[in-house]
Structure 1
Amino acid sequence: MKLAVFRAILLFIFMPFAGNASAYWMEVKGSGKLNEAVHIEVCYGNIDEFSIRHRDTGIELTRAGDFEISIQDERGNKTALPMIRKADCWEATFIPAHTGIYRILGINDSHPVVDRSKTGGKNIRPVDYLCAAYRVGTGKMISNPAQLLDIIATGKNGLMAVKAFKDGRVVEPKTPLRVFNPENWEKELLTNEQGEAIFKPTMPGLYIIREDWEDPSPGNYKGVAYSAVRHRCNYCLQVSAEEIVAE
């Protein structure tokens, strides 16, 4: 009986991502050195029934080009970056001129309303945020939020501390955050009194940390009425093999 309960708990806490689920994310590629180009790829795709992530190239990729991408340095200075379309992503590029940790930010508030009126559901206006960090040498990451939904992650001794914000303040205690590991298995975290949660990465690769909030304020966008706004922030965390510390 105890073994069965333990297995049930594991399945609840660490579940595979639902088949055919779709999302936006960023992949940041660079050498980590001064004066060498950093490539930011904004992607849209789905997770298949085998938990494999695929990039899409249809209409949703076209809409990914509506993201406004910027970088923020340690001093809080923000710089907007133009994007160009590639075969399976949109790409922005910047060249770090000084050492430190750069925050990479994105917002897309121009999605069409998800209209469910014909099926009896409620209409939702989606707003998406993206964020990541890129280190050049040494330095501290700016700790203040820069978007309505924002996430800041810091690693130490093989653990990752995640701090979530909403509207300029840390989120309420027990706010759920979802973590998708490189194999797209999902784990739920609950924030503490300081708006933080901790998890241990177990393999190198891309982790996506998600914060959701539904604002029940109704409105009208581009002629379509909606009853709520779904805000979603995806923090895109690239973990290297060197950052995985054995217990």
Structure 2
Amino acid sequence: MKKITFLALTLLLSFVTTSIFAHALWIETAASGKVGQKQTVKVFYGEYVANERDSVAKWYSDVKEFSLWLVGPDQKKTQLTLTPGANHFEGTFTPDQNGAYTVVVSHEARELGGTTKYHFLSSADVIVGKALPAAVQNPNVLKLHVEGASAAKINKPLQLKAFLNDAAAKGKTVSVFSPNGWSRELTTDDNGAAEFTPLWKGRYVVEVSDMDKTPGQHNGKDYKATWKGATYSFEIN
């Protein structure tokens, strides 16, 4: 009986851990904007590939207490005010100059998942006028950048790059989620790069993760590893 109970508990913990790993935080905003025109930014939590956007009340731990930051063409970093919705948070900003803007989230969940700390990261770019966003504009410790995302077309290859601590993240698994539920896994090369060809119009979310097995303490509790998950969102019209 004890063996059965232990097995059931093990399976339950495995399911909970898998569910947390499957969930991600991502940003949705228009890929382009105009000077003097308000830009809306929405942040969701759930499983994009399954078109599941969790209600804010069900977000894991204190993830709903994240901060949303805007990095402008001048590299100035500004925190955006957030308004909660049923299944997302919404913020706005008004571009005051042409150039590339990046909205970013970096949030370590207060609660541990067993002995693992969870760090959710996300970013998206907004182009005002003619500009090319650069990965260096994103201050997150783990990040993705899709080359030429603002001008992406279906049936044309796109290259993405993953960075960890501002260095190329080689050998990392990157998941690509399409707007119709199709997904694909890629592996980054020595330069942190990978390539895929979008086949449908709509919003794509790409995600990279990293497991750091350096132990430490978080909010007074010991952990054995830190899981980081970073998403990048862009739209193909």
Any gaps of 5 or more consecutive residues in structure 2?
Answer: 1-17
Superposition TM-score, scaled by structure 2 size: 0.80
Q: Percent identity?
A: 23
Cα distance in 1 for residues equivalent to 2:32 and 2:204: 19
TM-superposed deviation, 1:187: 0.6
TM-superposed deviation, 1:29: 4.0
Which residue matches 2:43? Answer: 42
Question: After the TM superposition, which residues 205-244 of structure 1 pair with which residues of structure 2 at under 5 Å, given as runs?
Answer: 205-240=202-237
* Higher alpha-carbon deviation: 153-162 or 202-211: 153-162
- 1:96-128, CA deviations, whole angstroms, 9 ceiling, x for partnerless residues? 11112211111111331112xxxxxxx111001
Any gaps of 5 or more consecutive residues in structure 1?
Answer: 1-17, 116-122, 241-247
Cα distance in 1 for residues equivalent to 2:45 and 2:38: 23
**2:141 equivalent among 148, 153, 174:** 148
- 1:128-153, CA deviations, whole angstroms, 9 ceiling, x for partnerless residues? 10011111120121341521101111
Distance 1:37 1:234, change over 3 A: same
Which residue matches 2:131? Answer: 139
Kindly provide the amino acid, as one letter, of the partner of residue 190 in structure 2: E
For the 8 Å contact 2:48–2:205, the answer to whether it is kept is no
Equivalent pairs, count: 213
Distance 1:146 1:56, change over 3 A: same
Cα distance in 1 for residues equivalent to 2:236 and 2:159: 13
**2:120 equivalent among 118, 128, 136:** 128
Cα distance in 2 for residues equivalent to 1:101 and 1:199: 24
For the 8 Å contact 2:82–2:91, the answer to whether it is kept is yes
For the 8 Å contact 2:63–2:109, the answer to whether it is kept is no
Cα distance in 2 for residues equivalent to 1:154 and 1:95: 24
Question: After the TM superposition, which residues 90-105 of structure 1 pair with which residues of structure 2 at under 5 Å, given as runs?
Answer: 90-105=89-104
